[in-house]
Every structure is written in C-alpha cells, then in structure tokens.
Amino acid sequence: MQRAQPPTSTGRAGRRLLLRGAALAAVPYALLPEPRAGAHIPAPDHPTAEWQPANASNFTTARRPVDHRVDLVVVHVTQTGYRSTLSVFRNPRKKVSAHYVVRSSDGHVAQCVRESDIAWHAGDWDHNTRSIGIEHEGWVDRPAYFTDVLYARSAALTAAICARHGIPRDRRHIIGHYEVPGTDHTDPGPHWDWERYLALVEAA
C-alpha cells in the first residue's frame, strides 16, 4: 500500500477536494457516522466481491472511463493481514486505498473503491488515474500466503476487470507495484509467480 493523493495544482475543484479530505481527517474515526439502517449499499462491480467501502477521504470520486481511461491493473501485496488492510482503508487519516483486497486463505474478494473512482494505491497520480489496484493478503517474503485459491480468484478478478475496461491481458498492462515509476515498494515481490498468474488470467 502507498499513499497517492491528487496533485495540489488542480484548480478550485481540486482545492475543495483536498480541503474536504483534510476536514475529514481531523475528525476522530470513532465519531464518523455509521451507515443508516436500511441505507442502500451499492452492488460491487465484481459480482462475487463483498462491498467493504474505504473512507471517502482515502480515494478520489471520478467518472472513469469518461474522465480517465483505465488501461492498467496493479498487483500489490498488503504486508499485513486482510482485516488490518480493510481497517487501514476505513481510517480517514491513512490517505490510502485500493479497489480490491483478496484474502489468502480462501480467495475471498472485498471491493473497497468503485472501479469508476480513483483509489490511492500506486504512489503516482497518473498511474492511479488509469489503473485498478488489487491488494493480496500476505508478505513479500512469505510465499505460503500466495495460495492456489488466492491466485485463482485474483486471476478471475483481473480477467473480469480487463474485460470490463478493454485492457489487454499481458505484462505491459498487468503490472506489479514495484513497476510504478518512482515507487520504493517491492511488491508483489520475488515469490509472486507471474507466469502462473498470467496463464490463469488468460484462461479465466
């Protein structure tokens, strides 16, 4: 995970967005209102995902692909547990999010940001605007977390994202976090099996 906020020179609308985020960040997380009973919960973009929304301070509302073309999937590893990752995304002080989180033990998928919105996951604004970020539960130096079911469910998710957005299913368009220019992150790390993953994406 990596912070990636909008650039500061975005004009009046951008300043309003940043001020809104700053105001929310100043509010203790425990004081933020819970969703109203009976409130409409949007269906996730991926049919088998569970909607686990990130805090609105941790992503940028957008109308992709109308205002930004989506042509990349960025693969991440959380460096923490599944529940901890969701908690980070809900914390308005963290300024970080991803569109999806995949659990190691059973491949369960949570969606935290709509695909039409810009998650703050890549550490580079340009890459954030044009990508879908997928976090995978685990640590880069613990390959046991990269289970068969995690690979399979993540590959099915990536294949569906590629189909929805017309993204080619290849290594130029499905990249690791470490491949984002300027990042100091190494995920998904040396134990991530890219050949296997791309074969599963192609077969899904």
Catalytic residues: 135
Beta bridge partners of 112: none
Q: How many whole angstroms separate alpha carbon 119 and alpha carbon 203?
A: 27
Peptide bond into 65 cis (omega under 30): yes
Q: Which residues of 179-195 are buried (b: 16+ CB within 10 A; e: fewer)?
A: ebeebebebbbeebeee
Q: Where are the alpha helices (DSSP H) in the chain?
A: 11-25, 82-90, 125-129, 148-165, 194-203
Closest of 65, 64, 73, 69 to residue 172, by C-alpha? 73
